[in-house]
Chain A
Amino acid sequence: MTSVRAASATDPATLRAAYLDRLAASDEEGAVAVAVDALDAGVDPEVVLLDVVAGAQREVGERWAAGEWTVVQEHVATHISERVVAAVARRAPAPAPSGIGRVAVACLDGEWHGLPARLLAEVLVRHGWEVEFLGASVPAAHLATHLHRAGPDLVAVSSSLPSRLPAARRMVEACRSTGTPVLAGGPAFGEDGRWARAVGADGWAPDARAAAAMLAADPDGPWPTGGGTDRSGADDRSAREEQTVLHARRIELVGVAAAAARPDAGEVPDELADDLGHLVDFLAAAVFVDDPSLFEGFVSWVGTVAIPAGLHVDEVGPALDALAAALADSPRTARLLRDARAAHPTPAA
């Protein structure tokens, strides 16, 4: 422990390892010390925030997905990182706003990973923006109320889960109604931002640094909207309808899929229900943006996640079959399920 303190390492990789070590020990003071010592050693606050804290949090997410950490452990780590971000802000205060503009930073409704948005807020503050951080899971109606009152120049929304894309659409519409442009960011919008346009965002940035650079270059836009063509699937009524159907039947569909995936289990364990719920949500999102790769990406990922009692890779196939049967009257959805089933490597049940 003392070695961590003594080491005045300035290399981000070393710092990240030391920081992660403190997170693993749920050692808030130690984690704060790693960050503050790095600042004192002359490391740029942005490096501490994005390369050390955010980098370590990514690793935390991977440990959770690998079944090494529980959800609560992940929450504790995130809680510590939040405190570290606050400590960094105290130790290396941001300069006064430069007048470049005001931005509201928010997470999508249902998006609980507030830390990336918090980090973006911190980075933008350091680039001279006046930032209002609205926190995790902001309902579209609350955002609209805020926009009417505060009238920022733009809204930056962050989301990590593509299954939140329909919510992203609602949020974009809420912003549009107030005439505020929306910059989207985070993995939810696809690696190349291909779904940012599908939900109507005015711009997309891959990460906090890129967002800051983009906004510095062009505070008013127009901004790049990322890769992908304009599928405009989100404007398609039948896509929306099918997505709505999926949402409305979510509980029933989770039951159907659970019965097929694990026929001999009496009570459905929460973990399995969660995973199947995500499966349905991703399916709905894929229908919504009309992009099979969104769903297939999730299907192949969920097989690699090792949460005890969660959806097992062998159970994916039967679950997809059961969903396809239950959703035969929704043509787009059924096609997505068939394609995903065909691409899924496990033998048929």
Chain B
Amino acid sequence: MDARPDAPTRDAVDTTAVGAPATSPRPTPGTTPTTAPTTAPPPPAPGPGLLDGLEEGVVVCDRDGVVRAANPAAHRLLPALRVGEVVDVARCEVLTRAVREGRHGPASVEVVVERPEGELHLRARRGPVLGPTPPPPPETGDGDTCWYLRDVTGEHQRTDTLLAAQERAAFLAEAGRALHGVLHLDRTARRVVALAVPRLAAGGTLVLRHDDTVTWATAELGAGRPRLGRTGTTALARLPRLAAALAGEGAGAGDPWLDEELRTLTGRETARAGGALRACPVPTTGVVEGLVVLTGARADAADELGAAEEELLSSYVARAGAALAAAALHEEQAHLGAVLQESLAAPRLPETPGIEWGAAYRPARETLRVGGDFYEVVGGAGPSARSAFLLGDVCGKGIEAAVLSGRVRQSWHALRLLEDQPGRLLGLLNTALLDAVATRDEHPRFATMVLGDARPLPEGGVALRLATGGHPPPLVLRAAGTVEPVPVAGMLVGGLREARFGETEVVLAPGDTCLLYSDGVVEARGSGDFFGEERLAATLPRCAGAPPAVVCEHLEQTVVSWLDGHDHDDVALLAIRAPRRGT
């Protein structure tokens, strides 16, 4: 690469190229710098000059800003440029300033040139001054600068488009993250509008119809957290446009009545500060009907940018729809679960004179808080009446177990009214369970349980009658701290028609406690061993003298600590105490 000092006259700098600096000096992207020519005062340049074919414009200016040379590309880029005239004739302020600042100014400037056909973005880079020979002779003039102009309009557009696309993708990704997993309809609704403002519009309202409820959430720029409210679907009768839009019949863009109706629905007092109104139906696969209404939306679909925003809007609404549908479905399921759970929740313990009760219940982790363990206590009426109790466990886990335990409990509640003798009551329950199974081809389902009743004794203390079917025997904690198992056993309930169940009577002296527990207690398995009967019997004496609620709580805590984070079966505990004397 050599320089080719063609026209050796210094004044007519018309020439040449400096190859070497071209490749290395500046890492300006995409330039293929070179250098070059230009012409000076009376542009002689008879044939095509060295730089004439260059796409990059080259302009040489002296210190006063007078253009001394320019190649054809430069003329194309800056049509007003005239050699011999001051550079600002090109009406390019930024470039003029840079030229005047010369070597003390910036080495590169971005220039926007207004042209009838649109804006032109130029990048001007100050480069080596051209001279006839590679090291330009000193006469070149200290103030001379040489500028290399490149049209970067397209590059800018591409960058802008890319950045905008990235921003939209990031927004959608963020929205997806924020929406998925909320699974609660109201929270999802709030979030849908909160995310839309201000990115998509200055104000956003979501209207949802779900069963016979209309839920709305609205957010406005600078108006704090989204507001949410609901009303019955009957209210839609007074809001015909909204009802139509919700049903997907003609979403009215710019329909002033829709805005009016939304104001009625959300109780918003003032009209919004104008701006285009857009209504987008939310695709929710029919689980709910939804409509997002935006005011001052950024998309009007008029130009290319609008089209991209439009697409963003529909992608957003699609995500919102998926999240809302998931939340609505989940809510239905959760409602089912909650209703079931409520019906099976551990019952309140009665207040009975002369008998103290305590209980603890901890369902297994994986069963949505409904389990197969259960207990029931029904207080007797009157000071010496019998109070009935039941604690048991059905085999299996989860919903099936919960349903079966519900059946056992209901049967017990009914049968105990007819039969108060615990052993016979257990026999009736056994028959009832077997009959229920036989009528519907179910697999036989077993249960184990202890049931009985407690009667306060006139002289203090409590008399217990107990019967058991396949259940761990109850323990009696005497006031002094000794622990005795109650010697009673029986066969599984719901297994055989001719099953036999053991029956016994126990007298609790004042301060004594009888503990009924499910096998989740002794079968709790931590990092090592099972919790086991021995450990249970060893833990109990520490609770001597404590109220039954505390006994149960302490045991529950001990068992859960033993589990050390491992999964476990349901744990149910029921303690019955004869009050201490004098309390």
Contact = CB atoms under 8 A, between A and B. Distances in A.
A6 interface: no
Contacts of B560: 110, 137
Contacts of A250: 527, 564
A145 B554 CA distance: 26
A226 to B, nearest CB: 24
B334 A149 contact: yes
B369 A145 contact: yes
B330 A148 contact: yes
Central interface residue in A70, A141, A151, A250, by most chain B CB within 10 Å: A151
Nearest to A248: B527
Contacts of A141: 365-366
B183 A148 contact: yes
Interface string A66-100: 00001110011001000000000000000000000
B45 interface: no
A137 B559 CA distance: 13
Contact of B368 (A79, A145, A220): A145
Contact of B187 (A71, A145, A179): A179
Interface in A25-82: 26, 70-72, 75-76, 79
B184 A148 contact: yes
Contacts, number: 73
A75 B134 CA distance: 94
A70 B542 contact: yes
Contacts of A178: 181-184, 187
Contacts of A220: 224-225
A139 interface: yes
A76 B547 contact: yes
B338 interface: yes
A289 interface: no
Give chain B's interface secondary structure class. Answer: helix
A179 B225 contact: no
B365 A79 contact: no
Contacts of A346: none
Contacts of A301: none
Interface string A173-198: 00001111000000000000000000
B121 interface: no
A72 B550 contact: yes
Given A148-B330, A149-B184, A179-B181, A112 B557 contact: yes
Contact of A179 (B182, B368, B546): B182
Contact of B543 (A72, A109, A149): A72
Nearest to A82: B549
B557 A151 contact: no
Interface residues of B, number: 38
A76 B365 contact: no
A151 B185 CA distance: 8
Nearest to B542: A72
A105 B8 CA distance: 89
A246 interface: no
Interface string A131-169: 000000101011001011111000000000000000000
Contacts of B366: 141
Interface string B542-580: 110111011001100100110011000000000000000
A72 B546 contact: yes
Nearest to A219: B225
B80 interface: no
B202 to A, nearest CB: 20
Nearest to B331: A149
B253 interface: no
Contact of A149 (B224, B338, B557): B338
A177 B337 CA distance: 20
Nearest to A80: B547
A179 B557 contact: no
Contact of B369 (A142, A147, A150): A142
A139 B364 CA distance: 10
B191 interface: yes
B328 to A, nearest CB: 12
B282 to A, nearest CB: 19
Nearest to B187: A151
Contacts of B330: 148
A279 B527 CA distance: 17
Given A75-B553, A148-B330, A179 B191 contact: yes
Contacts of B334: 145, 148-149
Contacts of B543: 72
Interface string B424-461: 00000000000000000000000000000000000000
Contacts of A179: 178, 181-182, 187, 191
B186 interface: yes
Contacts of B549: 79
A74 to B, nearest CB: 10
28 contacts: A71-B542, A71-B554, A72-B543, A72-B545, A72-B550, A75-B546, A75-B553, A76-B547, A76-B550, A79-B547, A79-B549, A110-B565, A112-B557, A137-B557, A141-B366, A142-B365, A147-B184, A148-B184, A151-B184, A151-B186, A178-B181, A178-B182, A178-B183, A178-B184, A179-B182, A180-B187, A220-B224, A247-B565
Given A70-B542, A75-B553, A145-B369, 17 more contacts: A71-B554, A72-B546, A76-B547, A79-B553, A110-B565, A137-B557, A137-B560, A141-B365, A145-B368, A149-B335, A151-B185, A178-B183, A179-B182, A179-B191, A220-B225, A250-B564, A251-B527
Which 3 residue pairs spanning A and B have beta carbons closest together? A151-B184, A149-B334, A148-B183
